[in-house]
Amino acid sequence: MTATTPLSQHIFCLLFALLLVILPCYAVAAPIIPAAPTITADSYLLIDFHSGQSLSERDADKRLEPASLTKMMTAHILFEELKENNIELDDLVTISKKAWKMKGSRTFVEVGKKIPVKTLLMGLIVQSGNDATVALAEYIAGSEEVFAAVMNQRAQELGMSNTHFVNSTGMPHKDHYSTARDLSILARSTIEHFPELYKWYKIKEYTYNSISQRNRNTLLWRDETVDGFKTGHTESAGYGLVASAQRDKMRLISIVMGVKTKNTRATESQKLLNYGFRFYETHLLYSKKEAIQQIRIWKGTTEQLPIGIADNLYVTIPKGTYEQLKPEISLPATVIAPVHSDQELGTLQIKLAGEQLDHRPLIALQTIEEGSMISRLIDDMMLLFE
């Protein structure tokens, strides 16, 4: 550029250079998501089913009375018994006097009558019948007290660390409690492991003994993408609702506890679900045991080793930010045979705008045995130059 170059060209060049510095900064800026709606509840949580990521929450670990949300665990154990072929849907259950006398919501089963497991499960899931619930608990464990111990054991296995059950129905007791987060764990497990039986939670009405009762989850009528889960209510617990909805391939689970009215629990749950679907998206980044990369392995029977992760990796991110995701792989400088399948070799981190969303161990996807003496000597020589 000569001394006679106009001043405007100098200014243009300076501005252009400045833009080259500034624009990349904006490209990786943290996405802006509107604040979640205000929810009227003692505790609430919104999570993505696949990634498990929390999208909005308040006091999600606060121990509260779950009321009939308890029946989610009762049904979960029944589903397990069915899956393991320990019981059958057409097994006949004799109704005890205790079950028949249960207060609160009822299926109206009669003492001494033999009722199929399927009928009682419908009474539990659709009608929230305390009588049907106790009858099933007694059939599985002999007594409701023993069944409660089974419930607590399963809760521990699932990682529900702030939950303790005293009964199968959710009737009030000072030592009977759970949390929104623990209930989300239970909901995810039910959908994942018993998808066909979970569909029963979508049934809107069930008739037994000439008495028709509607499912208390009114979101089944308000939102066609809502396909299940459970309501709860006692005077001391207030109203609660666990709801799940799927739109396209994204599934969300909302939990509200300690709500003042039946209508409010549905309205607040709908707010959470709409917020999550409107502003977030979920992606499967890597599948279980999918080869993410081939790496050089030395002194083995082959030179290439596929690596991946043990389980599917989903991320839930603000809409429109998929292109900003950044995977970072960390591996040792040298990998030497033998290596066995599933052996941890490094780590995979997923970042968005500099923030870590997830990290997983990288594992070998196949076993590589030690190579011959000659091949090992050759690799020793090559490693000297590496």
Catalytic residues: 68, 71, 128
Residues 294, 295, 299: CA angle, nearest 5 degrees: 130
Query: 47: part of which helix (H) or strand (E)?
Result: strand 43-48
For 133, 195, 216, 245, 254, the CA distances from 250, given in Å and listed in that order, are: 32, 15, 24, 8, 13
Angstrom distance (rounded) from CA 141 to CA 135: 10
Q: Is 213 in a helix, a strand, or coil?
A: strand
| Helical H segments across 114-179, by residue range | 117-125, 130-141, 144-158
Torsion of CA 256, 67, 148, 83, to 10 degrees: -60
Q: Is the dihedral of CA 320, 321, 324, 329 positive or negative?
A: negative
Angstrom distance (rounded) from CA 100 to CA 133: 10
Residue 31 structure tokens: 């996405």
For β-strands 114-116 and 304-308, DSSP reports them as unpaired
The contacts of residue 157 (CB under 8 Å, 6+ apart) are none
Please say whether the beta carbons of 241 and 266 come within 8 A: yes
Please say whether the beta carbons of 191 and 48 come within 8 A: no
